[in-house]
Structure 1
Amino acid sequence: MVASLARRFGDLDVAEEATAEAFAVAAERWPREGVPPNPGGWVATTATRKAIDWLRRESQRDARHQAALIGYDDTPAEPTGPVVDDRLRLVFTCCHPALAMEARVALTLRLLGGLSVAEIARAFLVQETAMGRRITRAKTKIKEARIPYRVPAADDVRERLVGVLAVVYLVFNEGYLPGRGDDPVRVDLTDEAIRLARLLRTLLPDDGEVAGLLALMLFTEARRSARVSTTGELVTLHEQDRDAWDRALIAEGNALVHKRIRAVAAGGDPPGRYQVQAAINAVHANAPSTDQTDWPTLVALYDGLVLLDPSPIVRLNRAVAVAEVDGAGAGLAEIDRLAESLDGYHAFHAARADLLRRLGRVDESRAEYDRAIGLAGNPAERSHLTRRRGQLTG
């Protein structure tokens, strides 16, 4: 895009400035108005107009101005680089290494994922006001530092891949369990995330984390039809009808996981966080029932995941698996260590409520369910928690 503008207007600085301004405009308008059907074309058109405006201001009679007045550019389109999909290319472009990782992920989710500031804040477990400031600072840095938004070349893809994978996964998660609104699932987001992951797999067929992310989402998506009841209530993994799971998606996920296991065994790179998460979901997907799930293997996998990603949410999930192996008391002890980090997270209180119920501490369990219900934004999840609370006796 920048090269095309530079050729057209004869000035690389103008092209870079115009492209950066176009992205700044997109960052302001797309969250309000929605991402246009052809986002790449929108950015190119806006950048061209910005370049024309600049040239008009600089000189009313200059020859460059005459070129700027040409209403139609019939020159062949420049190569798009290794990333041919319009939306995926913009994700790579927005995940610029000059921005901090969390800033580039948050900004890209806002710009291209269509997520609200509140939804992004929920994904990062921070306050909405703090996330709003983070996104504003990222926009300001783009504008003031004139960060050149170029279509990534082959050398840029690896450098930006970590941020791109994070964006795709967070978009999927928000679709799978929306934090707000009346829909228990946003299929538009989950489908788009899987589509982008498939494109990444085509682009980087030997990358283990790309394969791991795709497998992880396929296993999760396979359970979607069994995850919400006909009354609109969330159905937990323990209660789901496993016959309703999509076996074709599970088989595809299994093939990806097994290929990665063989690659690691043959001396390849050790598995990253998405590959370990995929392996965890593979254990669940292939278990005939909750009782027949290989919980010791899950605890071992979570032990490895904590080394890669020691986040409170990973440790919370590990604690739930520990409860299945060593009992509810051991799981509760693990969960209680996370109270300071996860007090505002509904799943923390829901997990704690369930373990307290299993231990017979009914009053404490009821209080935890109340806390979880108050924090849950998804109506299907609130319905499930309310039913579970109502089943408490004593």
Structure 2
Amino acid sequence: MTPPVNGALLRSLTPGVLAVLVRRGADFAAAEDAVQDALVEAVRSWPADPPRDAKGWLVTVAWRKFLDARRADTARRRREDLVDQEPEPGPAPAADDTLQLYFLCAHPSLTPSSAVALTLRAVGGLTTRQIARAYLVPEATMAQRISRAKRTVSGVRLDRPGDVATVLRVLYLVFNEGYSGDIDLAAEAIRLTRQLAAVIDHPEVAGLLALMLLHHARRAARTAPDGSLVPLAEQDRTQWDTGAITEGVAILQAALARDRLGEFQAQAAIAALHADAPRAEETDWVQIVEWYDELAGLTGSPVVRLNRAVAVGEADGPRAGLAALAELDESLPRHAAVAAYLHERDGDLTAAARLYAEAAHKAPNLAERDYLTRQAARLNARR
């Protein structure tokens, strides 16, 4: 029995192959179709006859698929001069085209939300359903958004840089999707952010890299052996990656020294304060609240203010946290979970149990739902 094709390998090669086709002159939508056809061919033929150069094989097959589709399109015969220029098969270029593809997807003609969605689909390999969940919109709505974005960048060549801020948002969303465990893209997001930091001297690029490293350092402690979530305060800090923390803090300090504060630097500063505490009880919550104030001023985000309410509850007591929470819309994601935690800290177990159950019903994934359900059951058993 022949072994199956390595899906992770195909996923890692896909962005570079897509970028090669676009650089050669294929429009974005046609290039993606051709790459998908090549992936199907790889799944069918590689187990019996694996290639020596996997990327080169995919580029060659995808380009031929693109040419075949173009030749069959009689309405576009004027482009025959392009399709006749088929490169000779051979090793694929060693250069990593993935970062260029990120910039194409962050093209100035796209709105930031469309750029993020397109990049997650084309480069990150996420499904339309996963992207829709990240945006809290129906899957059909996201499918239309991605289709429009593909049409917008069709014909655009990889010779015009996109918006760096959009690329950073894309990288962070990819990291968070990987960090959630749904698809392991966190390491790829860190790799690409390192690459971006090597070519763009900007404190926010460094801030994002520091933030990723500091969060990634805690990954091993985030789940128990049975797969259940372990909240930050209960994590075994001996499992944290001290090397990644040291590197992240050093990168952050260098970025902050440039006195051009941005949202990723502020988030990284909060993560660094958590990483600096040997025990949860030693966390400098007062300074964390100050950083959340900075972050709220930079972003105006209600989610930031929701997290700030937790920090206020730790720094000044649960009633102060509940007062901060009362200023926010109850429809915010995880609002009920924060309220439950603060009510429990304040001794109101009845309200906390009810809110934990409500939060579990609204949880975005199974692991979080299970954790919140257990919290509700724990409090109900104590009453």
TM range (shorter): 0.7 to 0.9
- Amino acid aligned to 1:292: E
Q: Does 1:150 align with 2:173?
A: no
| Contact persistence 2:204–2:265 (CA under 8 A) | yes
Q: What's the CA shift for 1:381? A: 2.2
In structure 1, the partner of 2:169 is 166
In structure 1, the partner of 2:9 is none
Q: Which SS does the other structure have where 1:360 is aligned?
A: coil
For these two proteins, the number of residue pairs brought into alignment is 351
Unaligned 5+ segments in structure 2 are 1-19, 44-53
Q: What's the CA shift for 1:164? A: 1.3
In structure 1, the partner of 2:7 is none
TM-score (norm 1): 0.78
Q: Which SS does the other structure have where 2:280 is aligned?
A: coil
Q: What's the CA shift for 1:321? A: 0.6
| Contact persistence 1:94–1:149 (CA under 8 A) | no
| Contact persistence 1:107–1:138 (CA under 8 A) | yes
- Output the aligned Cα RMSD: 3.5
Task: Give the alignment partner of residue 283 of structure 1, picking from 273, 282, 289.
Answer: 273
Distance 2:246 2:179 in 1: 20
Residues 140-184 of structure 1 show CA distances to partners (whole Å, capped at 9, x for unaligned) of x42xxx74321145xx2xx4211211111101111212xxxxxxx
Distance 1:365 1:357 in 2: 5
Task: Give the alignment partner of residue 184 of structure 2, picking from 185, 188, 191.
Answer: 188
In structure 1, the partner of 2:178 is 175
Residues 70-114 of structure 1 show CA distances to partners (whole Å, capped at 9, x for unaligned) of 65447999x99xxx4222221211221111110111121122212
In the TM superposition, 1:96-175 aligns within 5 A as 96-139=107-150, 141-142=151-152, 147-153=154-160, 156=161, 159-175=162-178
Q: Which SS does the other structure have where 2:124 is aligned?
A: coil
- Amino acid aligned to 2:233: H
TM-score (norm 2): 0.80
1:118–1:52 CA distance, 2 compared to 1 (3 A): closer
Q: Does 1:258 align with 2:253?
A: yes
Unaligned 5+ segments in structure 1 are 6-14, 178-184, 265-269
Percent sequence identity over matched residues?
43
Q: Which SS does the other structure have where 1:263 is aligned?
A: coil
Residues 296-333 of structure 1 show CA distances to partners (whole Å, capped at 9, x for unaligned) of 11111111111111122111111111111221122122
In the TM superposition, 1:1-394 aligns within 5 A as 5=24, 15=25, 18-23=26-31, 25=33, 38=55, 45=64, 47-53=66-72, 58=77, 68-69=83-84, 72-73=87-88, 84-139=95-150, 141-142=151-152, 147-153=154-160, 156=161, 159-177=162-180, 185-186=181-182, 188-204=184-200, 206-264=201-259, 270-342=260-332, 345=333, 347-392=334-379, 393-394=382-383
Distance 1:52 1:336 in 2: 62
Distance 1:30 1:95 in 2: 25
